[in-house]
Structure 1
Amino acid sequence: MKNIINKRFLIQGIIGVTLYVLISMFHLSLIYILIAGSMIGVVFGKAFCRWICPIGFIMELMFKESEDRRKQQMYMYYKAGCPIAWISGFLNKYSIFKIKKDTNTCISCGKCDRVCYITSLNPDFSLYKDEKMDPAKNYKCSKCLECVKECPVNSLKVGI
């Protein structure tokens, strides 16, 4: 799983460019993309933004190495106008595949929170602190899975 997560940006680029070419070549209506994005939301939650979206790929390319919080917030802001982000974000709580924490193996090191863009922007969220809100269930979570990749004891997993 960590190998796939390490290649997420490459996967997003390939799928995003392919999707863009298909839309252009076949003059697909955006309603089909909206429907497909919503169906993906039922299964994976808001994974479309970080794994498939061509616009998300361009935004990540622009802000990839930035530590500037304003640029990270801009990345979140562009999603505010995207209907796929709304629908799939709403479906994060109800999606089939979720990010789950094994409380028996978690060592509370906080590495997951350091890589999560939601916890970095809002201190009310935490993946390992039980008294805080779970960012993986929040509508903003795009299932980038950096938290899963960063966990040293594999306490965070994606599953049913």
Structure 2
Amino acid sequence: MKNIISKRRIVQGLVGASLYVLVFYFHISLLYVLIAGSILGIILGKVFCRWMCPMGFIMELLMGNKKGSEAGQMYQYHKLGCPIAWIGGILNKFSLFRIRHNPESCTSCGVCDRNCYISSLNENFSLYKAEKKASGNSFSCSRCLECVSSCPKGSLKYSFLPFGRSEK
């Protein structure tokens, strides 16, 4: 999983370029892109923004390697007008795949929260603190999975979570 996450920008660039070609060269309706993004939201959560969106790819190129709240603030602006981001954000709490925290292996080092732009923007969210809201369920979480790849103990996983079970 860490190998795939480390190649996220490449995946986003390839898929984003493909979507661009489909829409502007082959004249595929944006409605189909919206429907596909919504279906992905039900299954994977708000992954479209950080894994497939052509505009998201351009935003990340412009931001460079900024991390934490600075990147999060810039990234939030571009998602304001996107209906796929709205639908995916709403579906984050209900998606079949979610970010799960294993408290038994967690050392509470905080590396995940430092790499999560949601936790760095809002102190009410955390990936490992039980008394705070789960960052991965946040409307704003785009499932970049930096938190999962940065966890030194592997205490965070992005995996199937049946309905009715809790992440924390």
Specify the TM-score bucket, using the shorter chain as the normaliser.
over 0.9
1:73 aligns with 2:76: no
CA contact (8 A) 2:68 2:120 kept: no
Per the alignment, residue 63 of structure 1 pairs with 63
Q: How many residues align?
A: 160
Q: Distance in 2 between matches of 1:78 and 1:14?
A: 20
Letter in 1 for 2:32: Y
How far the C-alpha of 1:80 sits from its partner, in A, is 1.2
Q: Distance in 1 between matches of 2:116 and 2:71?
A: 15
TM-score (norm 1): 0.96
Per the alignment, residue 45 of structure 1 pairs with 45
CA contact (8 A) 1:42 1:94 kept: yes
Instruction: State the Cα deviation string for residues 81-137 of structure 1 (Å, max 9, x = none).
Output: 100000011000000100000111111010000000111111111111111111100
Shift in CA distance, 130/68, structure 1 to aligned 2, threshold 3 Å: closer
**Which structure features the higher share of helix residues?**
1
Per the alignment, residue 86 of structure 2 pairs with 86
Determine helix, strand or coil for the equivalent of 2:103: coil
Identical amino acids, percent of aligned pairs: 56
TM-score (norm 2): 0.91
CA RMSD across the alignment:
1.3
How far the C-alpha of 1:4 sits from its partner, in A, is 0.2
Determine helix, strand or coil for the equivalent of 1:86: helix
Q: Distance in 2 between matches of 1:42 and 1:61?
A: 28
Letter in 2 for 1:106: C
Letter in 2 for 1:12: Q
CA contact (8 A) 2:68 2:115 kept: no
Q: Distance in 1 between matches of 2:67 and 2:135?
A: 20
